[in-house]
Structure 1
């Protein structure tokens, strides 16, 4: 075999191993770190439009390596709402669950139904509280889930929500358009409201108990009027602040800047990791 062939074969083997690892459960034991608060509250990670195991796979692997959180399950959700569960919850420290939609192009409303099915199952299994993390359209999905089902009985209470690069005031929540859509934010909110924005605004405060939100926004600092992460405008992502304004919920935000803040790189960004860890799991006494 030639040198080029060996390089190609090595790369192929690495890809196959990495691809397999991203969608599996490592079954490792976490060693407690003094600056981390450990609980048994599962955190559910939801990818975006056409997302896959890579969307959050490496991030969950980094949390595991840092002894911060324990990836305990991979859930594959089918278009009819059925899902397969690989892994187990029992006794894990800061358990994380990776959700993979087999139909990655489904709309937000279908995804919220599927998420409802999963959380109803978790409630049946004795899980009273969960955290939710979503990227891109997945960020809209987790907030829309709260708005649709937040006051529905026999579901876990949502404690914390992390949204990453969410298009909260867009018409097209999935596919990229030739030009990045944006309604300008004013001091009173967006100059115009899209249907998804209006739905979230009208329904998010029906939830009986407050939720803590962390909104992570990317800006690659383009030389254009509309600031964006390459796919979603910053104003659309920051619109979540006005959706939650005047509600019982608690809102915080973090802005990532530069090349590493590109839409599909945010879940590989060390500062994003740090913000998520601080928000979900860091001991308050350990935070600066």
Structure 2
């Protein structure tokens, strides 16, 4: 009887501990932020993946940045297919919050991704009290970030101090192998001279006058039409036709590591991001 009682106590203790862990994890992942602290001077950096991207797209880049950036903190903002937002992580007034945005529908249109990004930015402003933010987008994520700036001027969002676009095809992607019959909404928008891309260029006057922009491109070889294997350099730098010249800068990496998917794993890109966003570190 005594031995059975001991076993029962062990099992009961295990169940209680496991339950507390589950409850604690759920609270950590989905708890709502508080605005007890003043975050007006803190500038979070929002990272938006590209076409068919996942949390893995920026995961290792953020790992590397967190190693070199003091007082960094990562939160993940996940948008499901219905547009609902869940947040993983808690923010405790760290100086450099990193917001990793993950779209469950990673083949959505620029319009839909822009709408979801508005939800992210509204949350950063209303729930966390951030007055400013930086945006970093790879490939289509850069297009969504730029389109957000062109179409979202309300005071319910943080103002965007700096924008980095990495391999983002502002002039479209010409490779026909990229498109198949019945292509997704994203693929339609990524075509050369698509209505979505032309609309962005047509509304360039709406681009915020104070936002500084860095365009990053990859070139696997020097030729008449260099590119990263998918996006031509001229397309990746196409945002210069939208941004005021005084606030535009660019960097092109000419090497075999500067592939389209390799740009967010490129150590040179790491350095360019750090120098542009945090020049005093």
Counterpart of 1:253 in structure 2 is 250
1:229-284 alpha-carbon deviations (Å, 9 max, x no partner): 011111111211122246xx61000001111110000011111000000000121x
1:74 aligned counterpart, secondary structure: strand
Asked which structure has the greater CA Rg, the reply is 2
Match of 2:202 in 1: 202
Write the mapping of 1:117-266 to structure 2, written as runs, cut at 5 A.
Answer: 117-125=119-127, 126-149=129-152, 151-170=153-172, 176-177=178-179, 194-207=194-207, 209-221=209-221, 225-245=224-244, 250-266=247-263
Alignment of 1:34-53 (within 5 A): 40-53=42-55
Change (3 A) 1:119 1:172: farther
SS across alignment from 2:93 = coil
What secondary structure is seen at the aligned counterpart in 1 of 2:261?
Answer: helix
User: 1:187 maps to which residue?
Assistant: none
Distance 1:57 1:244 in 2: 28
Q: Which residue of 1 aligns with 2:103?
A: 101
The yes-or-no answer on 1:84 pairing with 2:83 is no
Give the structure-2-normalised TM-score.
0.75
87-96 vs 201-210, which moves further: 201-210
RMSD: 2.6
How far apart in 1 are the matches of 2:256 and 2:71? Answer: 27
Q: Normalised by the size of structure 1, how large is the TM-score?
A: 0.73
Contact 1:266 / 1:272 at 8 angstroms: preserved in 2?
yes
CA 264–174 in structure 1, closer or farther in 2 if over 3 Å, else same: farther
Question: In 1, Cα distance between the equivalents of 2:244 and 2:143?
Answer: 17
- Residue pair 2:207, 2:242 contacting (<8 A) in 1 also: no
Consecutive unaligned residues in structure 1, runs of 5 or more: 1-23, 26-38, 179-191
Q: Does structure 2 retain, via aligned residues, the 8 Å contact 1:129–1:157?
A: yes
- Taking the aligned partners of 2:120 and 2:82, their CA distance within structure 1 comes to 13
Take 2:270 and 2:43, find their aligned partners in 1: how far apart are those partners? 18
Kindly provide the CA deviation profile for residues 108-148 of structure 1, in whole angstroms up to 9, marking residues without a partner as x.
Answer: 11100000011111111211111000001111110011111
Structure 2 unaligned regions, length at least 5: 1-27, 30-40, 181-191
Structure 1 residue 225: Cα displacement: 4.3
Q: Are 1:137 and 1:167, in contact at CA under 8 Å, matched by a contact in 2? A: yes
Change (3 A) 1:97 1:253: same
- The reply on whether 1:112 has 2:114 as its aligned counterpart is yes
User: For 1:81-106, what per-residue CA distance to the aligned partner results, in whole angstroms no more than 9, with x for missing partners?
Assistant: 11110112331121111111111111
Deviation at 1:194, TM superposition (A): 4.7
Partner-residue secondary structure (3-state), 2:102:
strand
User: In the aligned structure 2, how far is the partner of 1:97 from the partner of 1:106?
Assistant: 20
Deviation at 1:170, TM superposition (A): 1.1
Change (3 A) 1:208 1:135: closer
